[in-house]
């Protein structure tokens, strides 16, 4: 019997598309053996492994987005869009000043949001052992000290998700064991290989990385940081996704990681993408395991050959 694994990448609000993919798989009665996620992918994947139902995951995460504590973070200010129809000029001006004062204060701390506020937000996530979940699950985090990629397959679900989604500079690093952990996307954009390690023999990757289009010249530090992150994620994804059996790419246009107010649109985009790939998903599930192993071996050999040709000198 085939063991389907899902690899959920990071991307902030864009990663809500993972929920849409899960909703379609649930509706089709497609059984999932394993999920590995990083950043928002860890949150969606972890909660699915906990609940076993996409609809419950959707209700849970939409509840977080509407939670007063989450709204107080005003993450939408990071999307670079102004809402002139909602606020007066002076209200926008004071928002602008307030955000930059907070940014200056954060220069003397490890993150824009402090540890106390962040812990309050994550308390809503169940503090249960990963090894007791209904579906095999793991999440990726990155150790700031060693640069090592850490794949959490056991321990606290809450801690693993918080570490995996600690966006550098935005949320504080998480101290676990001897590690100082930040967002898994810093080292692993879409964790295809890791989901095989926890039981999957065929993998569908959901990539929510922004496409690299020519943009206007960045005008400030935030725009430069966002752009460099997009570039890094894109090129890392290109490499990682070669290991997937099927890649699903929801059409999210230029929505940013901070566009949580577009949650319904993003989830719907995930559903559309999954439906468009449904026949391919079913074919993959029914593929002969031996043929898949041969294909994986060939892909691995091609990858090693590429590495030798490009990095040996």
**Catalytically active residues, by annotation:** 39, 183
CA-CA distance, 258 to 110, in Å (whole number)?
A: 20
- The H or E element containing residue 282 is helix 278-286
Asked if 7 contacts 247 with a C-beta cutoff of 8 angstroms, the reply is no
DSSP 14: G
Asked if 141 contacts 184 with a C-beta cutoff of 8 angstroms, the reply is yes
Q: Which residues contact 146 (CB under 8 A, 6 or more apart)?
A: 179
How many angstroms separate the most distant Cα atoms in the chain?
65
CA-CA distance, 158 to 172, in Å (whole number)?
A: 15
CA-CA distance, 67 to 12, in Å (whole number)?
A: 17
Q: Which residues contact 209 (CB under 8 A, 6 or more apart)?
A: 9, 11, 189, 190, 230, 233, 234, 237
């Amino acid at each position: 019997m085939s063991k389907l694994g899902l690899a959920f990448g990071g991307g902030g609000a864009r990663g809500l598309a993972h929920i849409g993919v899960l909703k379609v798989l649930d509706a089709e009665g497609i059984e999932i053996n394993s999920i590995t996620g990083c950043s928002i992918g860890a949150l969606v994947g972890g909660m699915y492994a906990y609940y076993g139902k996409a609809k419950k995951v959707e209700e849970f995460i939409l509840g977080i987005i509407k939670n007063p504590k989450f709204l107080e973070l005003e993450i939408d200010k990071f999307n670079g869009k102004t809402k002139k129809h909602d606020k007066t000029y002076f209200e926008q001006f004071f928002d602008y000043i307030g955000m930059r004062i907070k940014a200056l204060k954060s220069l003397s701390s490890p993150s824009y949001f402090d540890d106390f506020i962040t812990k309050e937000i994550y308390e809503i996530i169940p503090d249960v052992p990963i090894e007791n979940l209904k579906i095999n699950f793991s999440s990726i985090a990155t150790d700031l000290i060693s640069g090592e990629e850490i794949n959490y397959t056991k321990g606290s679900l809450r801690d693993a998700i918080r570490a995996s989604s600690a966006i550098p500079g935005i949320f504080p690093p998480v101290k676990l064991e001897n590690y100082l952990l930040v967002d898994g996307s810093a080292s692993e954009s879409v964790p295809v290989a890791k989901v095989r390690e926890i039981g999957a023999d065929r993998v569908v990757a959901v990539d929510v990385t922004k496409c690299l289009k020519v943009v206007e010249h960045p005008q400030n530090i935030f725009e430069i940081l966002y752009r460099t992150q997009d570039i890094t994620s894109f090129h890392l994804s290109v490499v990682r996704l070669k290991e997937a059996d099927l890649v699903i790419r929801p059409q999210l246009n230029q929505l940013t990681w901070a566009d949580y107010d577009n949650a319904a649109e993003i989830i719907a985009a995930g559903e559309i993408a999954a439906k468009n790939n449904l026949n391919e998903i079913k074919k993959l599930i029914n593929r002969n395991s031996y043929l898949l192993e041969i294909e994986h071996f060939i892909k691995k050999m091609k990858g090693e050959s590429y590495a030798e040709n490009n990095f040996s000198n």
